[in-house]
Structure 1
Amino acid sequence: MSRYLTREEYFDAWARWHGGTDPRASAVVRGWLTIAHTLARPLAGLSPTVVTAVGLLVALSAVGPAAAGGWWLVPAGLLVGLSGLLDSLDGALAIAGGRASRRGYVLDSAVDRLTEVGYALALWLAGAPVWLAVAFGALCWFPDYLRARAGQAGVDETGAISVWERPTRVAMTGMTLGGAGVVSALGLDVVVVVAGTAVGAVLGLVGTAQLGRQLRRALG
């Protein structure tokens, strides 16, 4: 088995797999990846693909409690958070464990998009208007689509980390659902869900604008 990378080596390897984007530039992403790297070390024998599949199942399992509403929104939020952690864990197992591959990278990206569909669906079932939930989900997808298309156009670097990266999307969904569950006894759950989804959509617009500006310069 390959030597398990140190945290700094893991950051460097992660950057190479993500178009040269340095995770140290964002405290949120740096902290998120540090947790994943730490948890992955004792689990180095696990298959990253298995963890990816479990993460998808956990994300989709949040839909049921979200539909139930009320106090059930708390476990829905916790499941979303766990799914995001598993998503980072599979990457840490693959990259830091020396098992990263192009096939695994594409699979992980595809699963990320499917989990974000689950997040948008959970927010809608919890009370967000359908148009707002769709906007939230689309803005989860769009930045990564832009990066992929720019890569096909020959852009080697995907730009600096924006305010709307994967950890932020997971955190906004999880905290919105969990927070709504906490205040559900006061009848404020739908208000919190709508507000949280709207804030996420605004962050998505800002993050997309940041990325678009960077890619415009890179594309000339």
Structure 2
Amino acid sequence: MSTSIASRRLSVLVVDDHDIVHWGMRLVLVQQDWVERCVPATTGDEAEDRARRYRPNVALVDLFVGDESGTDIARRVRAAHPSTRVLLVSGAGRISATAARAAGAAGFVTKDRSAAEIVEAIRRIGAGEDVFDAPPSPADGGAGAAGRPAHQRLTGREHEVLQLVAAGLTNAEIAAELRLSPNTVKEHASSMFRKLGARNRADAVVRAQRLGVLN
């Protein structure tokens, strides 16, 4: 890493709907000599406004902010200030690197990490690196699968469709990404909705986040 990048002072936007997260991250970040400013936002509207106003180098965005999708917020932040690099973070559920990148994010880490590790991930994102937690081991898809809850019996393709739905892609965009026909994507999505007990795309993302299905 060059000296100029390493010594660069960063402005960090923290997007989360929990006050304790803002308090904790601000407490930790302001102690870093490479942090110039820590800006909080609790909604997508606030995140977009503050990205435009403060032009942060990095945005730390929770994967689920209230009823809003972190991937949608990531897009809004990037639209407001395209040079902002987004690090998605979640305490429940995961997102693939492919889906995260489709939303414009440069990284994803879980809240299982220590504060020091999350701060280091922010620093690395600000230095131009991509940072993605390793995905968990695939769930057992063989014998015994029928005894698992329906949401745990999603096929590999249904998982891929779910991840891209969570990233905000349309069926046509998912079809192009996965090299499938739109009708095939619709069939996979319908099956995935049924297994999750979801009414629509937004409900599927909400349920998947809460069940920890997005991986």
* TM-score interval for Structure 1 and Structure 2 normalised by the shorter chain: under 0.3
Larger strand fraction of residues: 2
Please report the TM-score for the alignment, with normalisation by the length of structure 1: 0.26
Larger helix fraction of residues: 1
Please report the TM-score for the alignment, with normalisation by the length of structure 2: 0.26
